[in-house]
């Protein structure tokens, strides 16, 4: 990409990453900002994750629902941001953007899930084109509700991107327990991939 006044060069992005990141986070909602994990809980290590991404600023995944209206079958589409997939029917109702990448891996993850013993959490959000969306770690609080910590990583310097462009990314995380074992879940998304807190590391080493 040839740098222009309206399109900062990749080198300029890397040089000013701290400033750019602070600006990006300033516009995030409370649910998107990094928050400290709860004091009590356990580390979940036996999860499986897959991501799909759209190169546009339109949502990458939605859910189709077939309904009967006046004797005729109709289909409605619900956009998904925070969602629990707890059955094969729910998995089959997922609809992906035509230009989405990583769809095959996501479809395989939800299709191979045993929903009587497992569940899948879906989190969909916008992200800068020059960033990768990464799962940092998963925990479960004392009430059994899972929490997923996400972070953003700058893409390789050879990746052609525009600093102000936005994409949509959706992360699917298969958990080793069914949806009826928890009443809710939470996520956090920070600008850096912080290390797993020591209390979880020590617990993992002891088991």
**Does some domain include residue 1?**
no
pTM: 0.74
Beta strand pairing call for 119-128 and 166-175: antiparallel
Q: Are 13 and 130 in contact (CB under 8 A)?
A: yes
pLDDT, tens digit, 9 for 90 and up, residues 16-28:
433 333 333 333 3
Q: Is the pLDDT of residue 173 over 50?
A: yes
* In the predicted structure, residue 159 carries a pLDDT above the cut 60: yes
Residue 181 counted as domain residue: yes
Q: Identify how many contiguous H helices and E strands the chain contains and give both numbers.
A: 5, 11
94 located within any domain: yes
Confidence of residue 157 (pLDDT cuts 50, 70, 90): confident
- Domain region containing 141: 10-206
What is d(CA 135, CA 72) in angstroms, rounded to the nearest whole number?
42
The continuous run of DSSP H or E covering 166 comes out as strand 166-175
Q: What share of the chain has pLDDT > 90, as a percent? A: 54
CB proximity list for 103: less than 8 A, separation 6 or greater = 52, 96
In the predicted model, is pLDDT for residue 147 greater than 80? yes
159 assigned to some structural domain: yes
101-127 confidence digits (pLDDT tens)? 999 999 999 999 999 999 999 999 999
pLDDT value at position 140?
A: 94
Which of the pair, 1 or 135, is modelled with greater confidence?
135
Distances from the Cα of 90 to the Cα of 5, 32, 78, 119, 173, angstroms: 46, 25, 12, 11, 15
Residue 10: C-alpha distances to residues 39, 78, 164, 193, 205 (Å): 39, 36, 12, 21, 41
- DSSP SS3 for 187: strand
Task: Tell me if 38 is assigned to some domain.
Answer: yes
Residue 33 — very low, low, confident or very high, per pLDDT cuts 50/70/90? very low
Do the domain assignments include residue 138? yes
- Structure confidence at residue 69 (pLDDT): 43
- Average pLDDT score over residue span 76-92: 82
Tens digits of per-residue pLDDT, 34-55?
445 556 689 999 999 999 999 9
- CB 100 within 8 Å of CB 52: yes
Is residue 144's pLDDT more than 60? Answer: yes
Domain assignment present for 2: no
Q: How big is the chain by its Cα radius of gyration, in Å? A: 19
For the chain, what is the domain count?
1
Q: Evaluate whether residue 3 is within a structural domain.
A: no
- pLDDT interval class at 168 (50, 70, 90): very high
Q: Does 10 have pLDDT greater than 50?
A: no
């Amino acid at each position: 990409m040839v740098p222009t006044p309206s399109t900062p060069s990749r080198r300029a992005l890397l040089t000013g990453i701290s400033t750019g990141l602070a600006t990006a986070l300033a516009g995030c909602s409370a649910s998107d900002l990094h928050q400290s994990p709860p004091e009590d809980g356990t580390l979940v290590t036996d999860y499986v994750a897959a991501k799909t991404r759209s190169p546009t600023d339109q949502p990458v995944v939605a859910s189709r629902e077939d309904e009967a209206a006046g004797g005729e079958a109709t289909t409605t589409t619900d956009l998904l941001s925070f969602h629990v997939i707890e059955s094969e029917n729910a998995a089959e109702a997922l609809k992906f953007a035509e230009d989405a990448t990583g769809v095959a891996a996501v479809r395989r993850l939800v299709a191979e899930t045993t929903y009587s013993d497992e569940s899948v959490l879906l989190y969909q959000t916008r992200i800068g084109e020059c960033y990768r969306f990464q799962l940092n770690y998963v925990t479960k609080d004392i009430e059994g509700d899972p929490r997923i910590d996400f972070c953003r990583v700058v893409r390789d310097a050879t990746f052609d991107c525009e600093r102000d462009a936005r994409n949509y990314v959706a992360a699917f995380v298969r958990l080793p327990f069914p949806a009826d074992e928890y009443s809710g879940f939470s996520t956090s998304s920070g600008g850096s991939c912080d290390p797993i807190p020591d209390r979880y590391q020590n617990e993992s080493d002891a088991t």
